Amino acid sequence: MVTPATAARAVLAGLLEPLDTPLARETMPAWLLPHQADAVARARGILERFGGVLIADGVGLGKTYVALALAALERRSGGEAVAVVPAALRGEWTRASAATAVAIPVFTHAALAVRRFPQASQATLVLVDEAHSFRNPRTRRYDALARLTAGRRVALLSATPLNNSVRDLAALIHLFAGWDRFREFGVPDLLQLLASGHHGGASLALGALSVCRTRRLVERRFPELRTAFPERVLLPPVRYDLDAVCGGRLRSILAALISLGGAHTRAERGGALLHLNLLRRLESSRAAFRRSLLRHRNFLAEWDGAREKGVPLSRAAFRAAFPHTDDDSAQLVLWPLLRSGDAPNWDGDLDAWCRAIDGALALIDGLPADQDAKCDALESLLEGELAGRKTIVFTEFRDTALHLFRRLRSRGRVLAVLGDAAWAGAARVTRGEALDAFAPGSRGTPADPLLQADLLIATDVASEGMNLQDACSVVNYDLPWNPVRVMQRVGRVDRLHSPHRQVHVAHLVPTNGLHDLTGVLRVLRTKLAHTAAVGAEPDPMGAMWWIDRGTPLPEAIERESWRRVEPFEARERWRALIGTPPPGTGRLPRVAAGVVEDGEAPAVGVLLALEWPGGRRIPLAFVLTAAGELRSDASALGALAERALGARTVPAGAGEFASALASTLPLAREQLLACSAARHGTHRVGPGRRAALEALSRSARDAERRRDISMAADIEQAIGALASELPAGLDRLLAERVAMAGQQRELASLIGELLRQASPPAGPPLDGSPRLVLVAALAIATRCPAD
HEC profile of 444-503: CCCCCCCCCCCEEEECHHHCCCCCCCCCCEEEECCCCCCHHHHHHHHCCCCCCCCCCCEE
∠ at Cα 722 (719, 723), nearest 5°?
A: 95
Confidence at residue 41, expressed as pLDDT on a 0 to 100 scale: 93
∠ at Cα 346 (341, 347), nearest 5°?
A: 120
As a whole number of Å, the CA-based R_g of the chain is 28
Confidence at residue 533, expressed as pLDDT on a 0 to 100 scale: 38
User: Which amino acid does the sequence have at 345?
Assistant: N
Query: pTM (2 decimals)?
Result: 0.83
Largest CA distance in the chain: 88
3-state secondary structure of 413: coil
Confidence at residue 369, expressed as pLDDT on a 0 to 100 scale: 79
How many Å apart are CA 667 and CA 650, to the nearest integer? 29
Give pLDDT < 70 ranges for the chain. 24, 115-120, 163-165, 197-200, 259-273, 311-349, 420, 481-483, 514-515, 518-567, 580-586, 653-656, 678-684, 742-745, 783-787
Confidence at residue 321, expressed as pLDDT on a 0 to 100 scale: 59
In this structure, the number of other CB atoms found within 10 A of the CB of residue 717 comes to 15
- Residue closest to 457 by CA, chosen among 401, 496, 498, 531: 401
> Per-residue DSSP letters for 629-686?
-EE--HHHHHHHHHHHTTPEE----GGGGHHHHHHHHHHHHHHHHHHHHHTT--S---
How many Å apart are CA 18 and CA 204, to the nearest integer? 8
- Measured distance between the N- and C-terminal CA atoms of the chain, rounded to whole angstroms: 18
Helix or strand (DSSP H, E) at 747: helix 744-758
How many Å apart are CA 107 and CA 119, to the nearest integer? 9
Task: Tell how strand 106-108 and strand 603-611 pair up.
Answer: unpaired
Confidence at residue 540, expressed as pLDDT on a 0 to 100 scale: 43
How many Å apart are CA 69 and CA 82, to the nearest integer? 12
In the sheet that 153-157 helps form, which strands lie side by side, from edge to edge?
106-108, 81-85, 125-128, 153-157, 52-55, 210-211
Confidence at residue 152, expressed as pLDDT on a 0 to 100 scale: 94
3-state secondary structure of 284: helix
Whether the CB-CB separation of 508 and 393 falls below 8 Å is answered with no
Over 570-585, what HEC string results?
HHHHHHHHHCCCCCCC
Q: At what angle do helices 514-529 and 265-284 cross, to 10 degrees?
A: 150
3-state secondary structure of 335: helix
In this structure, the number of other CB atoms found within 10 A of the CB of residue 419 comes to 20
- Residue closest to 601 by CA, chosen among 549, 643, 541, 663: 643
How many residues are present in the chain?
787
Confidence at residue 531, expressed as pLDDT on a 0 to 100 scale: 44
User: Which amino acid does the sequence have at 156?
Assistant: L
How many Å apart are CA 178 and CA 52, to the nearest integer? 11
Helix or strand (DSSP H, E) at 776: strand 771-781
Whether the CB-CB separation of 211 and 55 falls below 8 Å is answered with yes
User: Which amino acid does the sequence have at 425?
Assistant: G
3-state secondary structure of 136: coil
